[in-house]
Amino acid sequence: MTEYIGAVDQGTTSTRAMVFDHDGGVVARHQIEHRQILPRAGWVEHDPAEIWRHTQEAMREAFQGYQIRALGVTNQRETTVVWDRRTGQTFGNAIVWQDTRTDRIVDALDHDRRGEIVSHRSGLLPATYFSGAKLQWILDNVDGARDAAERGDALFGTMDTWVLWNLTGGRVHATDVTNASRTMLMDLDTLDWDDELLGFFGVPRAMLPRIRPSSDPEGYGTTGDGVPITAVLGDQQAATVGQVCFAPGEAKNTYGTGNFLLLNTGTEPVRSKHGLLTTVAYQLADEPPVYALEGSIAVTGAAIQWLRDQLRIIDTAAQSEELAASVPDSGGVAFVPAFSGLFAPYWRADARGAVVGLSRFNTGAHLARAALEAICYQSRDVVEAMEQDSGVALGVLKVDGGVTANDLCMQLQADILGVPVSRPEVAETTALGAAYAAGLAAGYWGDTDELRGNWHESRRWQPGWTAAQRRDGYHQWRKAVERTLDWIEIEA
């Protein structure tokens, strides 16, 4: 019977299971959305039990009838959950990576210079984005959580760890180096939890998962059906593998709820001086880890969802392209969707979303086009910082993720960057990367060169704007960003 590789992609808005063949083609898939729980301004939560139910259903529907040789898991990073090791009951909802309730915890790090230690050791700029502060908030604010953690009864995990623990019937409490590198708790050099960083956040070491390579022949245990789980990666690192960015200098940009641009920097971490993050890109078995510079943008595709769900000027996300294409430009409107503050390269938790340049002439179509432009201008902010840090000019941008189905948005991206934009045949490279990592560990693929042979371009967009158009448009964008700053006060 023909063998395939399975992948579970537990994302911010949905969970999907996918089946891939030896050529990297999609054989089967099933996807289920989960609720976005918004208890108050700045708070974003998910129900871990709901996500686990959806994971089971997605796997059942997608994998039925296929011989799965190995399984890879990829996940929304930084989203934090704590549960009881004996019962599996969670201490409240998971706190999502977009959540900003930890702003005071993060701000306090910089008042006594702990933030400098966090940045140097973890490669991350202290921000509400990352898991360490979310874990501290749960321990400090959820009844019984800290007592259980001190007793050794409470477990911490990002969503990969939660899914893995459930897939293995509670037998495996582990994570991989890419997810661990997003917590502010792991030392980038040792690839282990750091006791001083744990002390900063008041985290008992006993509640932390074991850190493993991303692609691991020894595996992460087996599912209830006996399928070996041989890979775990955070979603953006998985997309880097799916885009076969295995050489230093290769980069990809994933367009999802947020945007995440990663540049492979090789086996030595490169410390950013321009607002980017140093992170682990992947680690294959016993090989040295490969590092990346990352530009993380909180709200891109989520801005389209906002047009649909809150403003209701479109009925489906796909309609944003048709509406935006009905006008030749944004009519002077700039939209900065700083709903969770601004991430890279600004890192301003005090920023909030703004629409500027409005006149009575403007319509919903102008706002829709400004939303697409915001996705692209935020990516340009990151590309500019990346080129300054690396000294390498971007020649072509590899793109993936759901928003890449929007042809107008991709054309705008090429126009705004002034470089070609290339989309692969398999645009959902996050799940593909998890499958590649799992298949390498299981011997389904021989090496990364074999994976390169699977990559094929689906479409390329060439820039059409003049240099003056790019300059003037970017100048207006930066003016709009300035209007979002200092909107809320953060007390230490």
Annotated binding site for ATP: 12-14, 257, 301, 305, 402
With CA atoms as reference, report the closest residue to 241 among 439, 5, 93: 439
CA distance 230 to 222: 9
Annotated binding site: 12-14, 16, 77-78, 129, 235-236, 257, 301, 305, 402, 406
CA distance 258 to 304: 11
Record the tokens describing residue 286, joined without a space: 């016993």
Annotated binding site for sn-glycerol 3-phosphate: 12, 77-78, 129, 235
CA geometry: angle 280, 276, 350, nearest 5 deg: 125
**288: preceding bond cis by omega (within 30 degrees):** no
Asked if residue 375 lies in contact with residue 255, where contact means CB atoms within 8 angstroms, the answer is yes
Asked if residue 321 lies in contact with residue 304, where contact means CB atoms within 8 angstroms, the answer is no
How many other CB atoms are there within 10 angstroms of residue 456's CB atom? 10
Please give the span between the terminal C-alpha atoms of the chain, in angstroms, as a whole number.
61
Rg (CA), the chain: 21
Annotated binding site for ADP: 12, 16, 257, 301, 402, 406
The half-sphere exposure of 179 on its side-chain side, counting CA atoms within 13 A, is: 34
Record the tokens describing residue 99, joined without a space: 């959540």
How many other CB atoms are there within 10 angstroms of residue 449's CB atom? 10
Cα 216 to its chain centre, rounded Å, is: 22
Strand pairing of 259-266 and 290-297?
antiparallel
Which letter, b or e, does each residue of 224-236 get, where b requires 16 or more Cβ atoms within 10 Å of its Cβ?
eeebbbbbbbbbb
Asked if residue 254 lies in contact with residue 271, where contact means CB atoms within 8 angstroms, the answer is no
CA distance 367 to 293: 32
- In sequence order, which ranges of 64-215 are alpha helices (DSSP H)? 103-111, 114-122, 131-141, 145-151, 159-167, 177-180, 195-201
CA distance 101 to 37: 14
Give me the residue label for tokens 């432009």: 373
Sheet holding 421-424, edge to edge: 277-282, 290-297, 259-266, 251-255, 397-400, 421-424, 457-461
Asked if residue 479 lies in contact with residue 333, where contact means CB atoms within 8 angstroms, the answer is no
CA distance 119 to 331: 41
Annotated binding site for glycerol: 77-78, 129, 235-236
